[in-house]
Amino acid sequence: MANLRLLFTAVFVTSLATPLGAANPTSAVQVMVVGTYHFDNPGRDLINVKVDDALKPGRQRELDRLATALAAFRPTRVMTERRVADASLSDPGYAAFTAADVARHRSERVQIAYRLAGTLGLKTVQGIDEQPSAGEPDYFPFDKVQQWAAANGRSADLESLMATAAKMATEIEQWQASKPIAGVLAELNRPQRATAEQHIYYSLLSFGGTESQPGADLNAMWYLRNAKIFAKLMTAAKPGDRIVVVYGSGHNYWLRHFAATTPGYVNVDPTPYLKRAAR
């Protein structure tokens, strides 16, 4: 078994020395992750944001400018936070989409992803979300962290950490009062923001002992969900694709990590396009 591990390591290191796409950079898949808040505020997150109505005429004009700015990236695919069971990952919502839907549906899937794909004339939008099926483990076992904290005198520490997260959510609400939607997204997609959010996840690593480690388990499962999301992206991507991924901003850190470090893929910063739309 030890010799097998050494052989795998040698092969793996050699493969990293000659990454896919290195011989022909134009074949690399470019991935732009546009992290967003939930426009229709479905209330499924641990901390939810109060949002301005995306259907207001002024907000609709802002979203039109956002689609125009993102279209300048010349995307060949648009992918979004929707779980699709079919192997093609084709989002049935987009198949039924018409231009009039942007005046009726508040979801960022419709307002950003479908609008952008429609502007580009793309035939499909692909849903790459990953959720546990029956009998599969929870990808966000926060309740186990809460239980451990309560049993080990760390509830106040956990509440302090969640207060930090709540403050970050409040910032989004404050930005909406003075910025167009693209301006809010520009703030939300700064690399420093993703790092700050990841600090909260990593702070949860301290919630555990030598045996029971719920904070480490939560981080592992959150990583697993994002790894599966990116793996789904890879099943659909073709060499040379330019992909816009419209997703909840909490996924920014890991999805961009995979885009930046997976052989044959390139991470593209969305903030220049967002700032252009905000101007």
What tens digit of pLDDT does each residue of 5-43 get? 654 544 444 444 434 434 456 799 999 999 999 998 765
Residue 10 domain flag: no
Average pLDDT (118-128) is 97
pLDDT of 275 strictly over 80: yes
The tens digit of pLDDT for each residue in 195-225 reads: 999 999 999 999 999 999 999 999 999 999 9
Q: Between β-strands 77-80 and 29-36, what pairing exists: parallel, antiparallel or unpaired?
A: unpaired
The pLDDT of residue 73 is 98
Alpha-carbon distances, residue 69 vs 178, 193, 210, 276 (angstroms): 20, 22, 50, 7
The confidence band for 137, taking pLDDT boundaries of 50, 70 and 90, is: confident
The pLDDT of residue 42 is 62
Residue 236 domain flag: yes
Residue 106 domain flag: yes
> pTM of the full predicted structure?
0.89
pLDDT of 167 strictly over 70: yes
Residue 157 domain flag: yes
Domain membership of residue 196 as a residue range: 31-278
The pLDDT of residue 2 is 52
Residue 8 domain flag: no
The tens digit of pLDDT for each residue in 221-249 reads: 999 999 999 999 999 999 999 999 999 99
* pLDDT above 70 as % of the chain: 89
Number of structural domains (the chain) is 1
The pLDDT of residue 5 is 60
Residue 87 domain flag: yes
pLDDT of 138 strictly over 80: yes
Residue 93 domain flag: yes
The tens digit of pLDDT for each residue in 65-94 reads: 999 999 999 999 999 999 999 999 999 999
Residue 274 domain flag: yes
Of residues 97 and 1, more confidence is placed in: 97
pLDDT of 143 strictly over 80: yes
Average pLDDT (147-170) is 96
The pLDDT of residue 25 is 64
